[in-house]
Structure 1
Amino acid sequence: MLSNLINRQVLREAILVAFIGLVILTLVPFGSVTPFPFAFAAIGMFALAILAGLLFALPKHGRWVFNIALSLLVVLTSWTFIQTIELPANWLANPAWRAARDLAGVQHAVISVEPADTLASILWVALPFVTFLTGLILCDTDQRARKLLTGLGLAAGGVAVFGLLQFSMFPDVLIVVEKHAYLDSLTAVFVNRNTAATFLGLGTLLMLTLVRDIARSYSAHPPGEPGRNLLLLRTWICILLLCACFTALMLSRSRAGIFATFVAALIYFPWLVINWNSSRRYITPVPRWRSVLKLLSAVIFIVLLLSMFAGRAILRAQERRLEDDDRFCILPGIWRAISDHWLTGTGLGTFRTVFSAYRDPACGIFGIFDRAHNFYLEGFLGLGVTFPVATLVTFAVLARVFWRGLSERRRLRYYVLLGIAGTVLVALHAAVDFSLQIPGFAVFFSAFLSAVVAISLGRSHGKNERQYG
Structure 2
Amino acid sequence: MLPKLINREILREAILVAFIALVILTLIPFGSVTPFPFAFAAIGMFALAILSGLLFTEPRQSRWVFRIALSVLVVLTGWTFIQAIELPAHWLANPAWSAARDLAGVRYAAISVEPADTFAAILWVALPFVTFLTGLILCDTDQRARKVLAGLGLAAGSMAVFGLLQFSMFPNVLIVIEKHAYLDSLTAVFVNRNTAATFLGLGTLLMLTLVRDISRAYSVHPPGEPGRHVLLLRTWIYILLLCACFTALMLSRSRAGIFATFVAALIYFPWLVINWNSSRRYFRPAPRWRSMLKLVSAVLFVVVLLMLFAGQAILRAQERRLEDDDRFCILPGIWRAISDHWLTGTGLGTFRTVFSAYRDPACGIFGIFDRAHNFYLEGFLGLGVVFPVLALLTFAVLAKIFWRGLAERRRQRHYVLLGLAATVLVALHAAVDFSLQIPGFAVFFAAFLSAVVAISLGRSRGETDRPYG
Q: Report the counterpart of residue 330 of structure 1 in structure 2.
A: 330
In the aligned structure 1, how far is the partner of 2:129 from the partner of 2:309?
36
User: Can you give the 5+ residue segments of structure 2 that lack an aligned partner in the other structure?
Assistant: none
Q: Report the counterpart of residue 87 of structure 1 in structure 2.
A: 87
- Give the letter aligned to residue 280 of structure 1: R
Q: Report the counterpart of residue 418 of structure 1 in structure 2.
A: 418
How big is the shift at 1:285?
A: 2.1
In the aligned structure 2, how far is the partner of 1:232 from the partner of 1:462?
29
The answer (yes or no) to whether the contact 1:436–1:442 under 8 Å persists in 2 is: yes
TM-score (norm 1): 0.98
Q: Report the counterpart of residue 216 of structure 2 in structure 1.
A: 216
In the aligned structure 2, how far is the partner of 1:462 from the partner of 1:332?
54
TM-score (norm 2): 0.98
In the aligned structure 2, how far is the partner of 1:199 from the partner of 1:258?
11
Q: Report the counterpart of residue 252 of structure 2 in structure 1.
A: 252
CA displacement 1:68-127 (0-9 Å, x = unmatched): 000000000000000111111110000000000000000110000000000000000000
In the aligned structure 2, how far is the partner of 1:58 from the partner of 1:130?
13
CA displacement 1:164-203 (0-9 Å, x = unmatched): 0000000000000000000000000000000000000000
Where do 1:233-252 residues align within 5 Å?
233-252=233-252
The DSSP-based 3-state class of the residue aligned with 1:60 is coil
In the aligned structure 1, how far is the partner of 2:122 from the partner of 2:356?
23
Matched, 1:71 2:65: no
CA displacement 1:322-369 (0-9 Å, x = unmatched): 010000000000000000000000000000000000000000111100
Where do 1:417-456 residues align within 5 Å?
417-456=417-456
Matched, 1:363 2:383: no
In the aligned structure 1, how far is the partner of 2:125 from the partner of 2:407?
32
Where do 1:300-315 residues align within 5 Å?
300-315=300-315
Q: Report the counterpart of residue 230 of structure 2 in structure 1.
A: 230
Q: Report the counterpart of residue 124 of structure 2 in structure 1.
A: 124
Where do 1:266-281 residues align within 5 Å?
266-281=266-281
The answer (yes or no) to whether the contact 2:337–2:381 under 8 Å persists in 1 is: yes
Q: Report the counterpart of residue 200 of structure 1 in structure 2.
A: 200
How big is the shift at 1:461?
A: 7.6
In the aligned structure 2, how far is the partner of 1:184 from the partner of 1:402?
38
The answer (yes or no) to whether the contact 2:59–2:66 under 8 Å persists in 1 is: no
Q: Report the counterpart of residue 380 of structure 1 in structure 2.
A: 380
Q: Report the counterpart of residue 146 of structure 1 in structure 2.
A: 146
The answer (yes or no) to whether the contact 2:135–2:451 under 8 Å persists in 1 is: yes
In the aligned structure 2, how far is the partner of 1:129 from the partner of 1:33?
17
Q: Report the counterpart of residue 299 of structure 2 in structure 1.
A: 299
Q: Report the counterpart of residue 342 of structure 1 in structure 2.
A: 342
The percent of aligned pairs where both chains have the same amino acid is: 87
CA displacement 1:297-341 (0-9 Å, x = unmatched): 000000010100000000000000001000000000000000000
In the aligned structure 1, how far is the partner of 2:389 from the partner of 2:2?
47
How big is the shift at 1:59?
A: 2.3
The answer (yes or no) to whether the contact 1:142–1:460 under 8 Å persists in 2 is: no
In the aligned structure 2, how far is the partner of 1:107 from the partner of 1:55?
47
In the aligned structure 1, how far is the partner of 2:254 from the partner of 2:419?
22
In the aligned structure 2, how far is the partner of 1:389 from the partner of 1:99?
31
The DSSP-based 3-state class of the residue aligned with 1:400 is helix
Q: Report the counterpart of residue 110 of structure 1 in structure 2.
A: 110
The DSSP-based 3-state class of the residue aligned with 1:61 is coil
In the aligned structure 2, how far is the partner of 1:58 from the partner of 1:188?
36
The answer (yes or no) to whether the contact 2:411–2:463 under 8 Å persists in 1 is: no
Q: Report the aligned-residue RMSD.
A: 1.0
Q: 1:400 to 1:411 in 2, by over 3 A?
A: same
In the aligned structure 2, how far is the partner of 1:260 from the partner of 1:169?
28
How big is the shift at 1:244?
A: 0.2
In the aligned structure 1, how far is the partner of 2:163 from the partner of 2:241?
12
In the aligned structure 2, how far is the partner of 1:42 from the partner of 1:375?
21
Q: Report the counterpart of residue 353 of structure 2 in structure 1.
A: 353
In the aligned structure 2, how far is the partner of 1:213 from the partner of 1:461?
22
The DSSP-based 3-state class of the residue aligned with 2:277 is coil
The answer (yes or no) to whether the contact 1:264–1:424 under 8 Å persists in 2 is: yes
In the aligned structure 1, how far is the partner of 2:62 from the partner of 2:463?
21
Q: How many residue pairs end up in the alignment?
A: 466
In the aligned structure 2, how far is the partner of 1:281 from the partner of 1:65?
31
- Give the letter aligned to residue 23 of structure 1: V
How big is the shift at 1:60?
A: 1.2
In the aligned structure 1, how far is the partner of 2:2 from the partner of 2:464?
15
How big is the shift at 1:460?
A: 4.1
How big is the shift at 1:453?
A: 0.2
Q: Report the counterpart of residue 165 of structure 1 in structure 2.
A: 165
